[in-house]
Homo-oligomer: A and B are copies of this chain.
Amino acid sequence: MAVSLPFVRIVEIAEPVSVVGSGPDVVTGIASLAEAEAGDLSFLGNAKYKGEVLSSKAGIILLPADYEGNPASGQVFLRVKNPSYTLALICGEIEASLWPRPAAGVHPSAVISPSAVLGQGVHVGPLCVIEDGAVIGDDAVLESRTFIGRQARVGQGCRLKPGVVVSDYCVIGDRVRIQSGAVIGSDGFGYETVQGEHRRVPQVGSVVLEDDVEIGANTTIDRARFSVTRVGKGSKIDNLVQIAHNVSIGRHCIVVGQVGIAGSCVLEDYVVLGGQVGLAGHLRIGRGARIGAQAGVLADVEPGAILLDAPAIPFGLAKKLMVLKMRLPDLFKKVDSLEKQVEALSGNQAPR
Protein backbone atom coordinates (compact mmCIF):
# COMPACT_ATOMS: atom_id res chain seq x y z
CA MET A 1 0.00 0.00 0.00
CA ALA A 2 1.90 3.01 -1.24
CA VAL A 3 0.49 5.50 1.23
CA SER A 4 2.24 8.85 1.06
CA LEU A 5 0.65 11.75 2.87
CA PRO A 6 2.68 14.88 3.73
CA PHE A 7 2.71 15.90 7.38
CA VAL A 8 1.59 19.41 6.46
CA ARG A 9 -1.53 17.97 4.83
CA ILE A 10 -2.28 15.96 7.96
CA VAL A 11 -2.10 19.10 10.04
CA GLU A 12 -4.47 20.83 7.60
CA ILE A 13 -7.00 17.99 7.95
CA ALA A 14 -6.60 17.47 11.69
CA GLU A 15 -6.83 21.10 12.81
CA PRO A 16 -4.96 20.15 15.99
CA VAL A 17 -5.30 21.85 19.34
CA SER A 18 -1.56 21.50 19.75
CA VAL A 19 1.47 20.12 17.93
CA VAL A 20 4.36 18.92 20.08
CA GLY A 21 7.61 17.44 18.82
CA SER A 22 8.92 16.83 15.35
CA GLY A 23 8.30 13.71 13.27
CA PRO A 24 8.42 12.47 9.68
CA ASP A 25 7.65 14.83 6.82
CA VAL A 26 5.61 12.17 5.05
CA VAL A 27 3.39 9.46 6.50
CA THR A 28 3.80 6.12 4.73
CA GLY A 29 1.36 4.01 6.71
CA ILE A 30 -1.26 3.86 9.45
CA ALA A 31 -1.02 1.38 12.26
CA SER A 32 -2.12 0.68 15.81
CA LEU A 33 0.04 2.08 18.61
CA ALA A 34 1.63 -1.31 19.25
CA GLU A 35 2.42 -2.10 15.62
CA ALA A 36 3.35 1.29 14.23
CA GLU A 37 6.84 2.07 12.94
CA ALA A 38 8.69 5.33 12.47
CA GLY A 39 6.93 6.39 9.24
CA ASP A 40 3.46 5.54 10.55
CA LEU A 41 0.61 7.61 11.84
CA SER A 42 -1.16 6.15 14.87
CA PHE A 43 -3.90 7.28 17.26
CA LEU A 44 -5.31 6.83 20.73
CA GLY A 45 -8.97 6.08 20.01
CA ASN A 46 -9.76 4.19 23.20
CA ALA A 47 -8.53 5.10 26.70
CA LYS A 48 -7.82 1.39 27.27
CA TYR A 49 -4.74 1.68 25.07
CA LYS A 50 -3.37 4.80 26.84
CA GLY A 51 -0.41 2.86 28.23
CA GLU A 52 0.77 2.05 24.72
CA VAL A 53 1.32 5.65 23.66
CA LEU A 54 4.70 6.17 25.25
CA SER A 55 6.15 2.91 23.94
CA SER A 56 4.75 3.39 20.43
CA LYS A 57 7.23 3.85 17.61
CA ALA A 58 4.73 5.79 15.49
CA GLY A 59 6.17 8.96 13.99
CA ILE A 60 2.91 10.83 14.44
CA ILE A 61 0.25 10.14 17.07
CA LEU A 62 -3.23 11.64 17.22
CA LEU A 63 -4.20 12.16 20.86
CA PRO A 64 -7.18 13.53 22.74
CA ALA A 65 -6.83 17.16 23.79
CA ASP A 66 -6.44 16.25 27.46
CA TYR A 67 -3.69 13.69 26.96
CA GLU A 68 -0.65 14.40 29.13
CA GLY A 69 2.83 13.26 28.22
CA ASN A 70 5.48 14.14 25.69
CA PRO A 71 6.69 12.64 22.44
CA ALA A 72 9.97 10.80 22.06
CA SER A 73 12.69 12.16 19.85
CA GLY A 74 11.66 12.09 16.18
CA GLN A 75 8.02 11.80 17.16
CA VAL A 76 5.19 14.31 17.05
CA PHE A 77 2.00 14.42 19.11
CA LEU A 78 -1.07 16.05 17.58
CA ARG A 79 -3.74 16.74 20.17
CA VAL A 80 -7.20 16.89 18.53
CA LYS A 81 -10.83 16.97 19.62
CA ASN A 82 -11.66 13.42 18.51
CA PRO A 83 -8.74 11.25 17.38
CA SER A 84 -11.00 8.57 15.80
CA TYR A 85 -12.89 11.13 13.78
CA THR A 86 -9.69 12.83 12.69
CA LEU A 87 -8.24 9.48 11.67
CA ALA A 88 -11.35 8.79 9.58
CA LEU A 89 -10.87 12.12 7.79
CA ILE A 90 -7.24 11.31 7.07
CA CYS A 91 -8.13 7.78 5.92
CA GLY A 92 -10.78 9.27 3.67
CA GLU A 93 -8.08 11.28 1.92
CA ILE A 94 -5.86 8.19 1.65
CA GLU A 95 -8.76 6.14 0.31
CA ALA A 96 -9.44 8.71 -2.37
CA SER A 97 -5.80 8.50 -3.46
CA LEU A 98 -5.58 4.68 -3.34
CA TRP A 99 -8.94 4.19 -5.04
CA PRO A 100 -9.28 7.06 -7.47
CA ARG A 101 -12.55 7.15 -9.37
CA PRO A 102 -12.08 5.13 -12.56
CA ALA A 103 -12.32 7.17 -15.72
CA ALA A 104 -15.63 7.31 -17.55
CA GLY A 105 -15.91 4.93 -20.46
CA VAL A 106 -16.70 1.38 -21.43
CA HIS A 107 -14.00 -1.27 -21.62
CA PRO A 108 -13.98 -2.83 -25.09
CA SER A 109 -14.35 -6.34 -23.62
CA ALA A 110 -17.67 -5.49 -21.93
CA VAL A 111 -20.81 -6.91 -23.54
CA ILE A 112 -23.53 -4.30 -23.57
CA SER A 113 -26.94 -4.64 -25.16
CA PRO A 114 -27.76 -1.95 -27.72
CA SER A 115 -30.97 -1.30 -25.80
CA ALA A 116 -29.18 -0.61 -22.51
CA VAL A 117 -28.92 3.04 -21.53
CA LEU A 118 -25.78 4.41 -19.88
CA GLY A 119 -25.76 7.80 -18.15
CA GLN A 120 -23.06 10.46 -18.20
CA GLY A 121 -19.68 9.57 -16.77
CA VAL A 122 -20.41 5.88 -16.32
CA HIS A 123 -17.44 3.51 -15.98
CA VAL A 124 -17.91 -0.06 -17.21
CA GLY A 125 -14.95 -2.33 -16.47
CA PRO A 126 -13.61 -5.31 -18.38
CA LEU A 127 -15.93 -8.23 -19.10
CA CYS A 128 -19.06 -6.66 -17.66
CA VAL A 129 -22.42 -7.72 -19.10
CA ILE A 130 -25.33 -5.30 -19.34
CA GLU A 131 -28.48 -6.79 -20.80
CA ASP A 132 -31.47 -5.49 -22.75
CA GLY A 133 -33.18 -2.42 -21.46
CA ALA A 134 -30.98 -1.98 -18.41
CA VAL A 135 -30.40 1.61 -17.30
CA ILE A 136 -27.20 2.77 -15.59
CA GLY A 137 -27.30 6.15 -13.83
CA ASP A 138 -24.78 8.97 -14.20
CA ASP A 139 -21.35 8.46 -12.70
CA ALA A 140 -21.98 4.85 -11.74
CA VAL A 141 -18.91 2.61 -11.59
CA LEU A 142 -19.32 -1.02 -12.62
CA GLU A 143 -16.06 -2.73 -11.91
CA SER A 144 -14.88 -5.77 -13.78
CA ARG A 145 -17.18 -8.74 -14.45
CA THR A 146 -20.36 -7.11 -13.13
CA PHE A 147 -23.65 -8.47 -14.50
CA ILE A 148 -26.72 -6.26 -14.92
CA GLY A 149 -29.83 -8.12 -16.03
CA ARG A 150 -32.63 -7.17 -18.40
CA GLN A 151 -34.59 -4.02 -17.50
CA ALA A 152 -32.61 -3.63 -14.28
CA ARG A 153 -31.84 -0.10 -13.09
CA VAL A 154 -28.71 1.09 -11.33
CA GLY A 155 -28.82 4.59 -9.83
CA GLN A 156 -26.44 7.51 -9.98
CA GLY A 157 -23.04 7.26 -8.41
CA CYS A 158 -23.34 3.57 -7.52
CA ARG A 159 -20.21 1.47 -7.11
CA LEU A 160 -20.42 -2.24 -7.93
CA LYS A 161 -17.29 -4.25 -7.20
CA PRO A 162 -15.98 -7.08 -9.40
CA GLY A 163 -18.34 -10.00 -9.88
CA VAL A 164 -21.60 -8.49 -8.63
CA VAL A 165 -24.85 -9.91 -10.08
CA VAL A 166 -27.92 -7.67 -10.37
CA SER A 167 -30.70 -9.80 -11.83
CA ASP A 168 -33.41 -8.86 -14.31
CA TYR A 169 -35.86 -6.11 -13.27
CA CYS A 170 -34.08 -5.26 -10.01
CA VAL A 171 -33.86 -1.60 -9.04
CA ILE A 172 -30.81 -0.11 -7.35
CA GLY A 173 -31.04 3.44 -5.97
CA ASP A 174 -28.40 6.16 -5.98
CA ARG A 175 -24.97 5.90 -4.34
CA VAL A 176 -25.44 2.21 -3.55
CA ARG A 177 -22.22 0.21 -2.95
CA ILE A 178 -22.22 -3.54 -3.57
CA GLN A 179 -19.22 -5.72 -2.72
CA SER A 180 -17.91 -8.55 -4.88
CA GLY A 181 -19.93 -11.71 -5.34
CA ALA A 182 -23.19 -10.32 -3.98
CA VAL A 183 -26.27 -11.64 -5.78
CA ILE A 184 -29.24 -9.30 -6.01
CA GLY A 185 -32.40 -10.96 -7.26
CA SER A 186 -31.88 -14.70 -7.05
CA ASP A 187 -35.12 -16.72 -7.14
CA GLY A 188 -37.11 -16.86 -3.92
CA PHE A 189 -37.13 -20.29 -2.27
CA GLY A 190 -40.76 -21.37 -2.47
CA TYR A 191 -42.24 -24.77 -3.24
CA GLU A 192 -45.56 -26.54 -3.04
CA THR A 193 -45.45 -30.26 -2.49
CA VAL A 194 -47.72 -32.08 -4.93
CA GLN A 195 -47.80 -35.86 -4.93
CA GLY A 196 -44.48 -36.07 -3.14
CA GLU A 197 -42.67 -33.63 -5.43
CA HIS A 198 -41.69 -30.08 -4.57
CA ARG A 199 -42.99 -27.82 -7.32
CA ARG A 200 -41.45 -24.41 -7.68
CA VAL A 201 -43.76 -21.51 -6.90
CA PRO A 202 -43.11 -18.84 -9.54
CA GLN A 203 -41.18 -15.85 -8.23
CA VAL A 204 -42.19 -12.87 -10.34
CA GLY A 205 -41.22 -9.99 -8.07
CA SER A 206 -37.96 -8.10 -7.93
CA VAL A 207 -35.55 -6.48 -5.48
CA VAL A 208 -35.34 -2.79 -4.65
CA LEU A 209 -32.28 -1.36 -2.92
CA GLU A 210 -32.97 2.25 -1.95
CA ASP A 211 -30.45 5.11 -1.97
CA ASP A 212 -27.24 4.82 0.05
CA VAL A 213 -27.66 1.13 0.77
CA GLU A 214 -24.48 -0.95 1.05
CA ILE A 215 -24.37 -4.70 0.46
CA GLY A 216 -21.55 -7.00 1.56
CA ALA A 217 -19.55 -9.59 -0.33
CA ASN A 218 -21.33 -12.81 -1.35
CA THR A 219 -24.57 -11.66 0.28
CA THR A 220 -27.74 -12.98 -1.40
CA ILE A 221 -31.05 -11.17 -1.74
CA ASP A 222 -33.92 -13.11 -3.28
CA ARG A 223 -36.47 -11.59 -5.63
CA ALA A 224 -40.02 -11.46 -4.25
CA ARG A 225 -42.68 -14.05 -4.96
CA PHE A 226 -44.55 -11.03 -6.25
CA SER A 227 -44.09 -7.31 -5.47
CA VAL A 228 -40.61 -6.55 -4.09
CA THR A 229 -37.96 -7.52 -1.60
CA ARG A 230 -36.76 -4.17 -0.26
CA VAL A 231 -33.77 -2.72 1.57
CA GLY A 232 -34.56 0.78 2.80
CA LYS A 233 -32.54 3.95 2.39
CA GLY A 234 -29.20 4.04 4.15
CA SER A 235 -29.31 0.46 5.47
CA LYS A 236 -26.03 -1.43 5.57
CA ILE A 237 -25.81 -5.19 5.02
CA ASP A 238 -22.58 -7.07 5.76
CA ASN A 239 -21.08 -10.14 4.04
CA LEU A 240 -22.73 -13.54 3.52
CA VAL A 241 -26.16 -12.38 4.65
CA GLN A 242 -29.24 -14.20 3.33
CA ILE A 243 -32.35 -12.09 2.71
CA ALA A 244 -35.29 -14.15 1.56
CA HIS A 245 -38.15 -13.23 -0.75
CA ASN A 246 -40.55 -10.44 0.20
CA VAL A 247 -38.46 -9.27 3.14
CA SER A 248 -38.79 -5.57 3.77
CA ILE A 249 -35.89 -3.90 5.57
CA GLY A 250 -36.49 -0.34 6.77
CA ARG A 251 -34.23 2.69 6.66
CA HIS A 252 -30.86 2.90 8.39
CA CYS A 253 -30.78 -0.69 9.60
CA ILE A 254 -27.52 -2.56 10.29
CA VAL A 255 -27.37 -6.27 9.44
CA VAL A 256 -24.11 -7.94 10.44
CA GLY A 257 -22.41 -10.86 8.68
CA GLN A 258 -24.08 -14.24 8.12
CA VAL A 259 -27.51 -13.16 9.31
CA GLY A 260 -30.41 -15.09 7.79
CA ILE A 261 -33.80 -13.38 7.35
CA ALA A 262 -36.64 -15.68 6.32
CA GLY A 263 -39.40 -14.75 3.91
CA SER A 264 -41.74 -11.78 4.39
CA CYS A 265 -40.08 -10.42 7.53
CA VAL A 266 -40.46 -6.69 8.09
CA LEU A 267 -37.70 -4.74 9.79
CA GLU A 268 -38.73 -1.25 10.77
CA ASP A 269 -36.16 1.59 10.70
CA TYR A 270 -32.93 1.51 12.71
CA VAL A 271 -33.06 -2.20 13.52
CA VAL A 272 -29.67 -3.80 14.30
CA LEU A 273 -29.13 -7.54 13.81
CA GLY A 274 -25.89 -9.01 15.21
CA GLY A 275 -23.80 -11.59 13.38
CA GLN A 276 -25.35 -14.98 12.55
CA VAL A 277 -28.80 -13.98 13.82
CA GLY A 278 -31.69 -15.95 12.33
CA LEU A 279 -35.23 -14.64 11.86
CA ALA A 280 -38.16 -16.97 11.25
CA GLY A 281 -40.56 -15.99 8.49
CA HIS A 282 -43.29 -13.32 8.57
CA LEU A 283 -42.03 -11.48 11.66
CA ARG A 284 -42.15 -7.76 12.36
CA ILE A 285 -39.11 -6.32 14.12
CA GLY A 286 -39.97 -2.97 15.68
CA ARG A 287 -38.12 0.28 15.12
CA GLY A 288 -34.72 0.43 16.76
CA ALA A 289 -34.81 -3.13 18.08
CA ARG A 290 -31.40 -4.72 18.60
CA ILE A 291 -30.89 -8.47 18.33
CA GLY A 292 -27.67 -9.96 19.72
CA ALA A 293 -25.34 -12.17 17.72
CA GLN A 294 -26.50 -15.75 17.02
CA ALA A 295 -29.98 -15.12 18.42
CA GLY A 296 -32.94 -16.92 16.89
CA VAL A 297 -36.08 -14.81 16.65
CA LEU A 298 -39.38 -16.68 16.52
CA ALA A 299 -41.91 -13.94 17.29
CA ASP A 300 -42.55 -10.28 16.57
CA VAL A 301 -40.26 -7.87 18.41
CA GLU A 302 -41.37 -4.62 20.06
CA PRO A 303 -39.77 -1.32 19.01
CA GLY A 304 -36.62 -0.63 20.97
CA ALA A 305 -36.38 -4.14 22.39
CA ILE A 306 -32.97 -5.65 23.02
CA LEU A 307 -33.00 -9.43 22.64
CA LEU A 308 -30.52 -12.26 23.01
CA ASP A 309 -30.51 -16.03 22.84
CA ALA A 310 -32.42 -18.64 20.84
CA PRO A 311 -35.34 -18.42 21.05
CA ALA A 312 -34.71 -14.73 21.56
CA ILE A 313 -35.72 -13.21 24.91
CA PRO A 314 -35.17 -9.80 26.49
CA PHE A 315 -31.55 -8.94 27.24
CA GLY A 316 -32.01 -8.68 31.01
CA LEU A 317 -33.81 -12.00 31.27
CA ALA A 318 -31.27 -13.70 29.05
CA LYS A 319 -28.42 -12.45 31.22
CA LYS A 320 -30.23 -13.61 34.36
CA LEU A 321 -30.91 -17.07 32.92
CA MET A 322 -27.29 -17.32 31.86
CA VAL A 323 -26.17 -16.69 35.45
CA LEU A 324 -28.68 -19.22 36.79
CA LYS A 325 -27.56 -21.79 34.22
CA MET A 326 -24.03 -21.53 35.57
CA ARG A 327 -25.41 -22.08 39.06
CA LEU A 328 -27.29 -25.25 38.10
CA PRO A 329 -24.63 -27.62 39.48
CA ASP A 330 -25.02 -25.93 42.90
CA LEU A 331 -28.79 -26.06 42.64
CA PHE A 332 -28.79 -29.79 41.96
CA LYS A 333 -26.48 -30.35 44.95
CA LYS A 334 -28.60 -28.18 47.17
CA VAL A 335 -31.77 -30.05 46.24
CA ASP A 336 -30.08 -33.39 46.89
CA SER A 337 -28.98 -32.12 50.26
CA LEU A 338 -32.46 -30.80 51.03
CA GLU A 339 -33.90 -34.15 50.06
CA LYS A 340 -31.72 -35.88 52.60
CA GLN A 341 -32.48 -33.38 55.32
CA VAL A 342 -36.21 -33.67 54.68
CA GLU A 343 -35.94 -37.44 54.76
CA ALA A 344 -34.13 -37.20 58.06
CA LEU A 345 -36.70 -34.80 59.42
CA SER A 346 -39.49 -37.11 58.31
CA GLY A 347 -37.69 -40.03 59.95
CA ASN A 348 -37.35 -38.06 63.15
CA GLN A 349 -41.01 -37.24 63.09
CA ALA A 350 -42.08 -40.74 62.20
CA PRO A 351 -42.17 -42.02 65.77
CA ARG A 352 -44.70 -39.38 66.75
Q: Does A47 contact B (CB under 8 A)?
A: no
User: Which listed residue (B204, B327, B345) contacts A332, Cβ 8 A?
Assistant: B327
Residues of B within 8 Å of A217, CB to CB, are 183, 186, 220, 222
1/0 per residue A88-111: CB within 8 Å of B?
A: 100110110011000000010101
Fill in one digit per residue for A144-187: 1 if any B CB lies within 8 Å of its CB, else 0: 11010101000000000111010111000000010111010011
Q: What separation, in Å, do the CA atoms of A180 and B200 have in the docked complex?
A: 17
Q: How many copies altogether?
A: 3
Choose one: B177, B252, B339; the contact of A338 (CB below 8 Å). B339
Chain A 209-240 near chain B by CB (<8 Å), digits 1 or 0:
00010101110101001110000001010111
Of the listed stretches A68-76, A299-307, A318-326, chain B binds A318-326
B-chain residues with CB within 8 Å of residue A187 when the two chains form the complex = 177, 179
Which residues of A295-349 have CB atoms within 8 Å of chain B's CB atoms? 296, 310-311, 313, 320-322, 324-329, 331-332, 334-335, 338-339, 341-342, 345-346, 348-349
Residue in contact with A204 in the complex, picked from B94, B198, B201, B324, CB distance below 8 Å: B94
Answer yes or no: A191 CB below 8 A from chain B CBs.
Answer: yes
How distant is the Cα of A163 from the Cα of B342 in the complex, in angstroms? 71
CA distance A149 to B161 in the complex (A): 11
Q: Are A183's CB and B294's CB within 8 A?
A: no
A28: CB under 8 A from chain B? no
Within 8 A of B (CB), among A246-289: 252, 254, 256-258, 260, 262, 270, 275-276, 278, 280
User: Does A135 belong to the interface (CB within 8 Å)?
Assistant: no
Q: From the candidates B165, B196, B206, name the one contacting A252 in the complex (CB within 8 A).
A: B196
CB atoms of B183 and A218 under 8 A apart: yes
Which one of B88, B180, B204 contacts A95 once the chains associate, using CB atoms below 8 Å?
B204
Q: Which residue of B lies closest to A107 (CB)?
A: B111
State whether the Cβ of A121 lies closer than 8 Å to any Cβ in chain B: no
**A205 sits at the interface (CB 8 A):** yes
Chain B, residue nearest A144 (CB): B129
Task: Name the distance in Å between A145's Cβ and chain B's nearest Cβ.
Answer: 6
| A252 partner residues in chain B, CB cutoff 8 A | 196-198
Q: Contact check: which of B94, B220, B239, B256 meets A239 at CB < 8 Å?
A: B220
Contacts of A311 in B (CB 8 A): 322
A168: chain B residues at CB < 8 Å are: 98-99
Is A1 interfacial (CB 8 A cutoff)?
Answer: yes
8 Å CB contact of A181 from B183, B206, B238, B310: B183
16 contacts between A and B (CB under 8 A): A30-B226, A84-B192, A87-B226, A131-B144, A144-B147, A145-B145, A183-B239, A189-B216, A191-B254, A218-B240, A257-B260, A258-B258, A258-B260, A278-B293, A311-B322, A324-B329
